[in-house]
Amino acid sequence: MSSSRRIEETLREEIISRPDMILDDPDLMHALIAGNERSMGGNIVDLRGIAMERLEARLDRLEDTHRSVIAAAYENLAGTNQVHRAVLRMLDPLDFEVFLRDLGTEVAQILRVDAMRLVLESPEQEDDPNLKKLGDVLAVAPPGFIADYLADGRDSPLRQVTLRQLQAGNATIYGACGADIRSEACLKLDFGPGRLPGLLVMGSEDPHMFTPPQGTDLLAFFAGVFERTMRRWLS
């Protein structure tokens, strides 16, 4: 028996003993199917080959979907951990000034936003030296400002969380840095009966950071925790 025949026999025995070696290799399977089609001639339609091609295309789509689901799960888990860390940091301060300062620094950094603002409505718009001590995080606006800001000229029910893209941030809220803001998350706050509403705004220079199609469950949870924390400070 020639050397080439021994090599062929060895390969044949290997394939017989391990058929999965062929079945798991897409390139080999394509070559075998193509060879089979050529041997049948051009006048014969191989329905098995067509069925396999369709199954293969369907498998590719399923694998793409699987990868997308896994990526979304990891992203959601990362977002959950991020919000949990921000909530724990927000609950640490025992002083309101420290609470607001941390909101605009550590909490904003954890959430990876470029600006964090708390908007409170008040019928009195006078310059209060105590408010100035609280820095840029707190913005005071006249009654009705929050509803008008969230509605943005539309006659629709106000949601607890509003995500949108911007040409520039509102100067009343963001001050001088508003020119760089390209997207924002607005969290409507309810401080209880008899109190004017509040608004927590997260602004980003990334126009894709906050967009309307995104989910809002985590931000709604963050808003709920923030509401309860603020009620403690306002009581």
Q: What are phi and psi of 184, to 5 degrees?
A: -150, 155
* Structural domain count, the chain: 2
Query: In what helix (H) or strand (E) does residue 110 lie, and over which residues does it extend?
Result: helix 108-111
Say if 56 falls within a structural domain.
Answer: no
For position 4, what pLDDT does the model report?
A: 47
Q: Is residue 31 part of a domain?
A: yes
Evaluate whether residue 204 is within a structural domain: yes
pLDDT at res. 131: 54
Q: Which residues of 127-137 are buried (b: 16+ CB within 10 A; e: fewer)?
A: eeeeeeebeeb
103 and 194 housed in the same domain? yes
Identify the pLDDT of residue 106.
92
Say yes or no: 28 and 79 in one domain: no
> Are 115 and 176 within 8 A, CB to CB?
no
> Which parts of the chain have pLDDT scores under 70?
1-7, 23, 29-30, 32-53, 71-74, 124-135
Predicted local confidence at residue 3, as pLDDT: 45
Q: How far apart are CA 202 and CA 106, in angstroms?
A: 13
pLDDT for 141: 87
Longest dimension (CA), the chain: 104
CATH number at residue 145: 3.30.450.40
pTM beyond 0.85: the answer is no
Q: Would you say residue 57 lies in a domain?
A: no
**150 and 37 within one domain:** no
User: pLDDT at position 49, please?
Assistant: 62
Tell whether 114 and 162 lie within a shared domain.
Answer: yes
What pLDDT was estimated at residue 201?
95
Residue 18: which domain range? 3-44
